[in-house]
Each structure stands twice: as C-alpha cells, then as structure tokens.
Structure 1
Amino acid sequence: MTEVFMGGYSHLLFGSQGISLKTQELYATVFTTRYLDLFTTYISLYNTIMKLIFLGSSISIVWYMRHHKMVRRSYDKDQDTFRHYLLMLPCLLLALLINEKFTFLEVMWAFSLYLEAVAILPQLVLLQRTRNIDNLTGQYVLLLGAYRALYVLNWIYRYFTEENYVHWITWVSGIVQTLLYADFFYYYFQSWKNNVKLQLPA
C-alpha cells in the first residue's frame, strides 16, 4: 500500500486533476482509526514505522490537495461532489454492531475496514463524470484495486495453509472493495487491449 500512496505523491507533483480529495480524506480517516494502537501496543520497529508512513502519507496528501497552491488549482472541485461523509455513519453503526470485541480500539479497527471497503467510491464517481482519464490517474486507481485483489489471494492461501485462519470482517470488507473495482478493471483492460485512451461510460 505504501507504493500506492507514493504513486499518489507522484501524481500530486503534476497536479491533482482526476484525483478525488474525498477519497483521500476517507483513506486518511481509515488509517487514523486503524492505527490508534500506536499509542497502546508496540509490536516492532518495522511495524511502527510502516504505520507512521501510512498515516503521514495519507494525511499529507489531503493537506497538499487542500492547501498547496499549484495542486489546489488543478483539483476539479466541481466534479468531485460525492457526499463522502454519508459513508462514515453507516460504517460506524456497522462497526458498533459487528466487531470482534466491543472495545474502543476494536470498534475503530472494524470501522476502518468497513470504511476502506467503500472509500474508493468518490474516486470512481469522479472518473465516471470526467470520463477521459489520463494514464497516471488510471494507473493509480489500478494499483489501488490490485493491492486489494492481491490481499484476497493472500487470504485464500493462508486459509488453506494456516490452522484456524478465519477473519470474516476483513474478508467480507476486502471482497466488497475488490468488487467495486470490477467495472474499472474491465474498462482498463479493454483500453489496454485495444490501445485506446481509457474512458468510463457515463
């Protein structure tokens, strides 16, 4: 996932046209709520550094898109109008109802998984509205989807090779997220196969 956010950074160097600030804000919320255990549990130096990279990169992308003059000028605010905050309340209610343990950290962890599953929606809606998608934006979204699809393959492998490996909340959230990318994957593959510019239907 770090590579995906580095891809987001490289995109910001050339402006933020085609990138949804709403999706970036949702990802920042996802990692902020998922890594609250930084304050309570130490696993390893590597684990701590990676969590800080995820947090720092996601929050700074939002900051750049909101405050950096060049990036802000290229951001298409008029098209990026998905009411992303409406996704947060259902995810929070679901986390309160379905979690592995009813504690603050566990509820926030479940919330982060549910929210991550739908965080890409503002980005997909923006791409559908703009229709013409530049290569950098298309590759960025492709990597986001591929990252989750590879996680699904990892879960399948671990299910058959590790005893008692069952994580229903993670699995269902990941599958929902991957399915949301299915339409984009199809049109991306068609554009690549036919060597034409990527376009999503209106």
Structure 2
Amino acid sequence: MNIFRFFGDMTHLISILILLLKIYATKSCSGISRKTQELYALVFLARYLDLFTNFVSVYNHVMKMVFIASSLAIVWCMRRHPLVRRSYDKDLDTFRHYFLVGGSFVLALLWHEKFTFLEIFWAFSIYLEAVAILPQLVLLQRSGNVDNLTGQYVLFLGAYRGFYILNWIYRYATESHFGRWIAVISGVLQTALYADFFYYYFLSWKNNAKLQLPA
C-alpha cells in the first residue's frame, strides 16, 4: 500500500466519523441524504461479500467491517432513531435513487472482468459508488445553505476519491499499471461530480463565509 492509498482510506474514514459526530452530537440528520447513505450501505455490502472467504490483511479486514457497520448504523439512525429521523429532509431528498441501483447493476452485467457472482457484485458496487453521492449533492443544492459538519463530510468524501486518483497515478509510475480499469474510470467520474462542490467550498473558505450552493 502506498501513501496515497492510505490517505484515501483515512479521509474516507474521517468523512464517516464526521457524519456520525453530526448525528450523535446534534441528534439531527438535517442536510444529509438518507438515499445516499442507503446507496453507500449497499455499495459496501455488495463489495465485501468476500469478507469471510478472502483474507488479505488485518488492516483490509478491519476496514471492510468498519465501512459496513458504520454505513448500516447511519441508515438505522436516520430511519429508526426517534430524534434523528424527525430532522430528516424528506421533501428535499427526492432523488430517484433506485434508477442508480438498476443502472449500475445493468452496467455490471454488461461490463465486468469475470462473469462470476463476486465479480458482478464487485463491479456493481464500483459503478454504484461512482454516482451514490448524487442524491446528497442534489439535496444540498436544493437547501442552499450547508452547515459546517455536512460540508466537511462531503469535502473529506471527495478528498478520498482524489487521493485514490493519485494512488493510481503513483502505481502507474512505479509499477507500470494502475489497477482495475473499472475502478479507475468510475473513480475519475465520481471525483468529477464533486468539482462544483469543491469550487463553492473554496470560495466560502477564501471569503470566510458560510458555504452556499446555487439552486
């Protein structure tokens, strides 16, 4: 593992910790898309179907369990916690995310590296992760104002993908290959989706102003 992959994993983990902090400290999920969180839970469940059959390292195993457990905990809180669920922005979180699920599964059936159960669901998880942030970005755009913790959550989530791109570039420079092409193409697309958010986040930071996204 190179330093860019490690930083990618850590910024991903930090984004989840920030979201958990927001939910448990404020007892609120305002500004958070439950649909995006459900998509991420599906991503991790599909990607890590080999959790108990393919052991790579303790680090890899622990990170898999952390991502699955944390994503399910977030969804549970947003659906079941009596205080948290009251703050859910149902009227703003209307993105039809099932189209993302269906489209990602069709892509996985059409474009994959091996036609096996695990490989199809791995490809499905990669395609779905690339677009899972869309309901969240749409919700923030509709609400306009973005609170600090929500903004930091999305920022670190986007940084995670940025570090993974640097990881692929580094691997290509040092190992003459960058990994699996499905992951690379989907990762570049996913990072591009954050470009608009990064731009307005930078402007708010530069002007020391509250983050606002245009409707």
Aligned-pair CA distance for 1:45: 2.8
Aligned-pair CA distance for 1:166: 3.9
Secondary structure of residue in 2 paired with 1:79: coil
Secondary structure of residue in 1 paired with 2:50: helix
Return the alpha-carbon distance in structure 1 between the equivalents of residues 18 and 76 of structure 2.
16
1:6 and 2:17 are equivalent in the alignment: yes
| Deviation by residue 1:81-106 (Cα, 9 ceiling, x = unmatched) | 11111101111011111111110100
Aligned-pair CA distance for 1:11: 1.2
Partner of 1:82: 95
| Contact persistence 2:36–2:133 (CA under 8 A) | yes
Note the aligned Cα RMSD (angstroms). Answer: 1.0
Aligned-pair CA distance for 1:164: 3.7
Return the alpha-carbon distance in structure 2 between the equivalents of residues 17 and 156 of structure 1.
37
Secondary structure of residue in 2 paired with 1:69: coil
Partner of 1:167: 180
1:186 and 2:199 are equivalent in the alignment: yes
State which drifts further: 190-199 or 56-65.
190-199
Pairing partner for 2:64 from 38, 51, 59: 51
In the alignment, structure 1 segments of 5+ residues that lack a partner are: none
Amino acid at match of 1:127: L
The runs of at least 4 aligned residues of structure 1 exceeding 3 Å deviation read 163-166
Partner of 1:92: 105
1:114 and 2:132 are equivalent in the alignment: no
Determine which structure has greater relative contact order: mean sequence separation of CA pairs < 8 Å that are 6+ residues apart, divided by chain length. 2
State which drifts further: 43-52 or 177-186.
43-52
Q: How many residues are paired up? A: 202
**1:13-92 alignment to 2 at 5 Å?**
13=24, 14=26, 15-92=28-105
In the alignment, structure 2 segments of 5+ residues that lack a partner are: 1-11
Aligned-pair CA distance for 1:163: 3.4
Pairing partner for 2:115 from 102, 111, 122: 102
| Contact persistence 2:168–2:179 (CA under 8 A) | no
Partner of 1:177: 190
